[in-house]
Amino acid sequence: MASMAVQLLGFFLGLLGLFGTLVATVLPHWRRTAYMGSNIITATAYMKGLWMECVWHSTGIYQCEIHRSLLALPPDLQAARALMVISCVASALAIAISAVGMKCTRCARRSPTKSALAVGGGVCFIAAGLLCLVTASWTTNDVIRDFYNPMLPSSMKYEIGQAVYVGFASAGLSITGGAVLCLSCEDSRQRPPYRLPANNALQRPAPPYHPPAAYKGNHTPSRSSASSNGYRLNDYV
43 — pLDDT class (breaks 50, 70, 90): confident
pLDDT of residue 99: 86
pTM of the model: 0.72
Per cent of the chain over pLDDT 90 is 36
The lowest-confidence range among 108-112, 116-120, 187-191 is: 187-191
Find the mean pLDDT for residues 166-187: 89
Q: What are phi and psi of 98, to 5 degrees?
A: -70, -30
Neighbouring C-alpha atoms within 13 Å toward the C-beta of 117: 19
pLDDT of residue 71: 78
Condensed to tens digits (0 to 9), the pLDDT of residues 48-66 reads 999 999 988 877 788 888 8
The lowest-confidence range among 38-42, 95-99, 151-155 is: 38-42
| Nearest to 17, CA basis, from 98, 97, 88 | 88
13 vs 99, residue with greater confidence = 13
Whole-number mean pLDDT of the chain? Answer: 79
Report long-range pairs for 138-141 (Cβ below 8 Å, ≥24 apart).
Answer: 138/76, 138/79, 138/80, 139/30, 139/31, 139/80, 139/164, 140/164
pLDDT of residue 80: 93
pLDDT of residue 226: 45
Does the pLDDT value for residue 115 go beyond 70?
yes
Condensed to tens digits (0 to 9), the pLDDT of residues 199-208 reads 554 555 656 6
Residue 49, exposed/middle/buried by CB under 10 A (0-12, 13-18, 19+)? buried
Condensed to tens digits (0 to 9), the pLDDT of residues 120-162 reads 999 999 999 999 999 999 999 999 998 888 888 877 788 999 9
Residue 88, exposed/middle/buried by CB under 10 A (0-12, 13-18, 19+)? buried
